[in-house]
Structures are given as structure tokens and as C-alpha cells.
Amino acid sequence: MSSLQISQGSFRLNDTRVLTLNDVSIATGQSWAFVGANGSGKSALAHALAGELTLLAGERRTDYRRIARLSLEQVQRLVEEEWQRANTDLLSPGEDDTGSTAAEIIQQQQHHDNARCQILADQFGISQLLTRRFKYLSTGESRKVLLCQALMARPDLLILDEPFDGLDVASRKQLSERLAGLADNACTLVLILNRFEDIPDYIDRVGILVDCALTCTGSRQSLLAEALVAQLAHLESLQDLALPETDSPQQQAALPADQPLITLCDGVVSYQDRPILHHLDWQVAPGQHWQIVGPNGAGKSTLLSLVTGDHPQGYSNDLTLFGRRRGSGETIWDIKRHIGYVSSSLHLDYRVSASPRSVILSGFFDSIGVYQSPSERQQQLTRQWLRLLGLESQADAAFHGLSWGQQRLTLIARALVKHPALLILDEPLQGLDPLNRQLVRRWIDVLIGQGSTQLLFVSHHAEDAPECITHRLTFVPDGERYRYQLETLDA
């Protein structure tokens, strides 16, 4: 029986990033799926398993003799090469732009084996494509052709990176059924996937990748039954689900849709002549979600205190919040009613005996704990939030009995029950393990993507940002002060 084993492995990705695989063991007779979000290191994992990454530390051993890896990028690259061939001088004089046929692509590395080519084409239902030009095939068809090419050499370990990505439901189902036959044979199958729902039924082992580290592995049944993993999988069913409404829509203050939430002109804050904020110009326009990045002591908390109305020097600055110039007669509560706020300190301060239900309910009253009777409407909306978070079965359990990430999510829901114009998450990933960090990041994307609330996400590291972030403000050390770098991030 063959196996691939990696122990305490660190693989170089670039000058600053490594892939960490502490304990991987893939043996003949097993079928694996590794699941991770975008940026989690899935493609790097595929390269590492195939022996294509530099091993910095640890050990990688295998007695698999024929390892094949296939990714969507390889398919796209081959299609591009076929099209580019027609625009170069590689064609012989008088030769038509024909390009390679599917059969020629399949036999590209195993020449003159027409019989096996035909067997594989029959197996994957593409016999009718063998004489067609590869570059004219659909995404699903070209992927099956490349899969047949990989199988020509009879690999004993086949690694497929996102085999279902970009395929419609029928094509995914068909390809999955074809792969089931491979899992039943001598070929060990490894699938690298973005979604839990793409894991076929015949997969018996699962691993979860977060932040370029393999956080957990186990049998399919046991791993998918774990609360955190089940909640991550629950996220995939929420793409078209709307957030619960607010309890009093008529009390929501209408803000001008075309005006920035925040405008700070030449912002300056100092203590005892020491500059904390030094001539910062910053604006949060409609539809923007900002990450604020910088080291401890850079002034991030000071900037937040200006936004929340808590800093006395807000009056001495040219600062407009939610359409009103600071110091124009507004109260601090006029500011705070537009803001939902979650921080590590709030999390630590929430020490009262509570359940997830009562924590979310407390958001209607801006209190820590519930000290008055909620309305039936507030109870109904809280049930909807619990359902959205996948915490219905734990609604009346002890809040502090949840995982740290689930507690943080409950507090974020508490901040969102009033649908504030601005949600401020101050170091929301602090104190979380990789799996809980993944849970919170992905939930932020769902919650922000479904509502109209704009986000300020404060962290020490740029890589902490959820995908919904559109802009970044970075505090950059410059001698004894900081300068400010403002970026628009690629969509």
C-alpha cells in the first residue's frame, strides 16, 4: 500500500508566506477533500502534495510513483497556448489554423496509445469530442479532456484543484459521478475544494485549510459534525438570504444617500504636544468598506474615538459625521445611534450570565444584559438572527460555552440588530484560533454583503481583511510620527 506523509512541514510560498502542514497522511484506499476559502492556500497545498514546493522544514515522504496534479489554471493556460499558436509563425506556410484536437491533447505525453485514449474518453463521456479542436471546447469539456490526459499515465495519486469550479449544477454532478469510479480503483483521489457542499458522498476523509495552515483533519462524518465546521458549511446556504429587519423602521434616521458617512479634513490630535493624528485627510464615501491598519500606538483607537464621538478633540477638528459637522449642536447619542461597535474589550466586558438569545436581544437596548421585557417583535427578530447564525439549537445555552468565534459572531449580530449606518469592528479576530478567524471573516462578508451597513474593520495586519473590504487606510511609521496611506483595493 502506498502513502504520502508530511510531518511538521513548512513550504515556501514567497518571501513572506509559508504553508504549514503539520501532519498529513494520505494512503491507498482513502479519498480526500481539502476545503478552504479563497486565499487560504488551497492551490499551494496541491503543489505541496505533488512535491512541487520548496520544503523549508519538516519532512515529506511518499512511495507513490506516479503523482498527477490538475488545476483550472492548467486548463486555461493550455487553451491560451492553443489560441496564441494561431497568431505566431509556428504554423507552416499554407497551414490552416486548426489547432490540436482533443485526442491529441489527451495523448500529448503518452503518444500512440489510441486504445487507452478511447477507453478514457468513453469513461468520461467525451468520445464525440476527440476529433474536435481543443480550443473550441467548453470549460467543462476542456476540463474532462485534461483529466483524461492526466489519467493516461495511470497515476496512483491524482490531485484535482477545484475540479468543479465554474461548472453548472448538471456538469458538477456528472463530473463527480465520473470521479467516483476513480475513487473505487487503485488511484488515490485528492480533491481541493472551495465549498463544503462540493464534497462528494464517496469522500471519506476531510481536511480544512485556513490562513495557509491545515487546521484539522479527520473522517468526513466526524469532522463535518463539529460545531464550527458545521457553521462554516451553513454559510453556503445563505447567499440569497436577507438580514432580519429592524424592530422600529420608523426610528431609523434617514441619512443622505449621496453624502459621505465620515469626512475628516487635516485631522490633528495631540497629547502634551505629542502628535497622535498628524494632518489626516480621510473620507468614507457611500458604499465603501474600510480596513484601518497599523501597529499598537499608531493612533487607530484615537481615530475611532473621533468617529464614535467620544474624543473631546473632535470639536476642534474639521469633522463631519453622518452629514452633520461636529460641534453643530448634535449630542453624542445623535452620533452613536448610527453606529454598531464590537471590540475585544467589549467581548471581555460581557461577563454577565447570558445566552446567545439574550446577548442579541440586548442590542435593541444598547445594554450588556437584558433588564426589561423585550417585545414580541424583538423576540421574533432575535429568532431570525439565531437562525441566520446557525445557533438555533444553542439559543438558550450559556453564551460563554460557545466557541470564542461564535461568541464574537453573536456580538456582531447584537451590533447589527438596529441596522446601523456604520459597523466598527475593532480587532475582531484578536484572540481567535485559525478556524474561528475563518468563521468570523466569512460571516462578516455575508452580513455586510446582504445589508446596507458600511464597515470599518480595524486590525494590525492587512491580511486579516474580509473580502468585502474596498479601501484601506494604513498608518505608516515615519520617524516619530505616522503618515497615512490610502488605497482602493481591487475588486
Residues of the chain with pLDDT under 50: 94, 250-251
Q: Grid cell 438555533 — which residue?
A: 392
Identify whether the C-beta of residue 134 lies closer than 8 Å to the C-beta of residue 144. Answer: no
Q: Where are the alpha helices (DSSP H) in 69-152?
A: 72-85, 102-106, 114-123, 139-152
Q: What is the spatial distance between Cα 111 and Cα 116, in angstroms, rounded to a whole number? A: 11
Q: What is the spatial distance between Cα 332 and Cα 311, in angstroms, rounded to a whole number? A: 10
**Cα angle 223-224-226, degrees, rounded to a multiple of 5:** 70
**Cα angle 50-229-290, degrees, rounded to a multiple of 5:** 90
Residue-level pLDDT at 33: 95
Task: Give, in order, the Cα–Cα distances in Å from 296 to each of 314, 477, 480.
Answer: 21, 11, 14
Provide the sign of the torsion angle of the four alpha carbons 327, 331, 334, 338, taken in this order: positive
Residue-level pLDDT at 317: 84
Would you tell me how many other CB atoms lie within 10 Å of the CB of residue 486?
13
Residue-level pLDDT at 251: 45
3-state secondary structure of 263: strand
Domains plus CATH for the chain? 3-227 (3.40.50.300), 255-488 (3.40.50.300)
Rounded to two decimals, the pTM is 0.73
Task: Give, in order, the Cα–Cα distances in Å from 402 to each of 41, 355, 408.
Answer: 28, 9, 10
Q: What is the spatial distance between Cα 143 and Cα 357, in angstroms, rounded to a whole number? A: 47
| Residue environment code for 209-218, b if the CB has 16+ CB neighbours within 10 A, otherwise e | bbbbbbbebe
Q: What is the four-CA torsion angle of 308, 314, 317, 321, rounded to 10 degrees?
A: 30
Q: What is the spatial distance between Cα 365 and Cα 97, in angstroms, rounded to a whole number? A: 71
| Residue environment code for 412-448, b if the CB has 16+ CB neighbours within 10 A, otherwise e | bbbbbbbbbbbbbbbbbbbebebbbbbbbbbbbbbbb
Q: Which three cell numbers stand for residue 61?
A: 515522504
Task: Give, in order, the Cα–Cα distances in Å from 38 to each of 162, 271, 490.
Answer: 11, 42, 15
Q: What is the spatial distance between Cα 35 and Cα 38, in angstroms, rounded to a whole number? A: 10
